[in-house]
Structure 1
Amino acid sequence: MIRFKPLPLMSLLSIIAFAVLISFGRWQWEKYEQKSAAAEEPVAEMTIASYQPVEGGIQFVFGVRPDTHEQGWRVFAPVQEGDSIVFVDSDFVVGRDSPNPAEIRVPAAMRFGAPVSGASVRPEDPGPFAAPPRPLERRWYAVDLPAMGRNAGLENVADYYIAAAYVGTDGRAAANPFALASGADALPPARHLGYALTWYGLAIVLLAIYFAYHVSVGRLTLQRARPRED
């Protein structure tokens, strides 16, 4: 027979913490399933040929390149296409510190009006764990197109951006490593799976600690049933 006398306050806090951990795990698991399904879908490609770069409107988004694992800043250059503003993920500057806006220009090909081609990406809303942006420094830690547009004083910002090819130091263009069909620029599906397992694992550890503590203070015991006397 099990004898269990739970501590009220500890039990309440444990229930709340357990619910939070499970919700985070479920959220990351859903992200994993969504991105796994989206990774199998073809990437929507588009080309814009008639546009005008908006000088002085460049914004920087922190990211880790999936191909080289380098930390750096993605250069989002806004262009005017008709009545809309479209951001173009046009370059990547390696380094932890954000670039000096005065030293970064729109890529030469765009200044000369060459057609811009790439994946058309609708980014997800910034997650709750994204670091807060620093608009005065044009630094962003998640793609937030409306906020980036407002920071540059721009209106009619499109809800998608173009992940254009990056031009290396050797002058060769390479596919944008952040061009994912799901728009999930920061994390691949496997990372979300790892986070989900971590949250679920923490929930299991919480239960183990909760019951172990009750055992240690004698509030959870296993008593043998006394034999019935005839």
Structure 2
Amino acid sequence: MDRNRNRILKVGLAAGLAFLILVGLGTWQLLRLKEKEALIARVSERMAAEPVPAPPPAEWPTLDLDRWSYRRVTLEGTYDFAREARVYVNLSEPRGPLKGPGYFVLTPLKLDGGGTVIVNRGFTPMSGGAVSRGASGRRASVTGPLREPEGRNLFTPADEPRQRLFFARDAKAIAAQLGIFEAAPFTVDAEASGPGGLPQGGETRVSFPNRHLEYALTWYGLAATLAVFVLTLALRRRRDGKDDRL
């Protein structure tokens, strides 16, 4: 009898610990949901705000990218088309007419006050099209969201610097491969398209997967299922114990 009681106690403790873990995971997902909703609201507000001058080179070494990310900024300078590069992208939800596999066209912009910012001038499809360039040194005024560097993961292909083809938009890394010194630690997405529509500007991708409520309900559901199972088991054992006494 004592052995059976000890076994029931161990099962109960294990089930109680598992229940607490499941509830904790569900609660953590609700906290993540609040954080994600706040992030989406913050980015939406920044994207709708009036543009401000981009941070100057003197501020780049200590720039708080979280505070600046997705803020609309303005830049003025001259394009260096001789050092233009591409970043592979599969544009699935475009704002313009073109979509599918292709490239973001990255062109260094030499600022009037010194320093260089890599500007994402927009999307061009892999199928081709005449990308507007012009002679290096052409003056340009750019308005668009400031973007922090993109991260990499195990599935990110290796860059092809000789082809000036990259698979993550990391301003510092790209600038180093292009031989650009005093480069900004951010890129800027141009909102306007080039003459003739290419590259297709205004294609800032704002994508924040938000399935935290679904995950929270899943964890809470598992916790509830476990509680019902343990309760059913306890009631059955209690009933069997009464039957044995009869």
Output the TM-score relative to the length of structure 1: 0.61
| Counterpart code for 2:138 | G
1:131-160 deviation line (CA, Å, top 9, x unaligned) = 53532373435x432333344454432133
Deviation (angstroms), 1:31: 2.7
Residues 30, 124 of structure 1: alpha-carbon distance in 2 compared, 3 angstrom cutoff? farther
Which residue in 1 is equivalent to 2:187? 161
Residues 111, 154 of structure 1: alpha-carbon distance in 2 compared, 3 angstrom cutoff? closer
| Counterpart code for 1:87 | I
Residues 145, 62 of structure 1: alpha-carbon distance in 2 compared, 3 angstrom cutoff? farther
Deviation (angstroms), 1:112: 6.2
Give matches, 1:76-155, under 5 Å.
76-81=106-111, 83-94=114-125, 107-109=132-134, 111=136, 113-123=138-148, 126=151, 131-136=155-160, 138-140=165-167, 143-155=169-181
1:107-145 deviation line (CA, Å, top 9, x unaligned) = 414746141412141327649x8953532373435x432
Distance between the aligned counterparts of 1:173 and 1:59, measured in 2?
Answer: 13
1:153-201 deviation line (CA, Å, top 9, x unaligned) = 5443213322212248x548875131xxxxxx331xxx54x42222222
**Is this contact kept in 1: 2:193–2:202, CA < 8 A?**
yes
Which residue in 2 is equivalent to 1:31? 36
Residues 223, 23 of structure 1: alpha-carbon distance in 2 compared, 3 angstrom cutoff? same
Q: Which has the higher contact order (CA 8 A, sep 6+)?
A: 1
Deviation (angstroms), 1:90: 1.0
SS of match in other structure, 1:108: coil
SS of match in other structure, 2:160: helix
| Counterpart code for 2:75 | T
| Counterpart code for 1:149 | A
Give matches, 1:59-74, under 5 Å.
59-67=87-95, 70-72=99-101, 73-74=103-104
Identical-pair percentage: 15
Which residue in 2 is equivalent to 1:186? 206
Residues 40, 147 of structure 1: alpha-carbon distance in 2 compared, 3 angstrom cutoff? same
| Counterpart code for 2:186 | Y
Residues 26, 162 of structure 1: alpha-carbon distance in 2 compared, 3 angstrom cutoff? same
Residues 124, 112 of structure 1: alpha-carbon distance in 2 compared, 3 angstrom cutoff? closer
Bigger Rg over Cα: 2
Point out where structure 1 has 5 or more consecutive residues left out of the alignment: 179-184, 225-230
Distance between the aligned counterparts of 1:133 and 1:29, measured in 2?
Answer: 33
Which residue in 2 is equivalent to 1:48? 76
Output the TM-score relative to the length of structure 2: 0.58
SS of match in other structure, 1:119: strand
**Is this contact kept in 2: 1:77–1:87, CA < 8 A?**
yes
**Is this contact kept in 2: 1:63–1:186, CA < 8 A?**
no
Point out where structure 2 has 5 or more consecutive residues left out of the alignment: 1-7, 52-71, 240-246
**Is this contact kept in 2: 1:122–1:159, CA < 8 A?**
no
Distance between the aligned counterparts of 2:154 and 2:34, measured in 1?
Answer: 18
SS of match in other structure, 2:211: helix
**Is this contact kept in 2: 1:121–1:162, CA < 8 A?**
yes
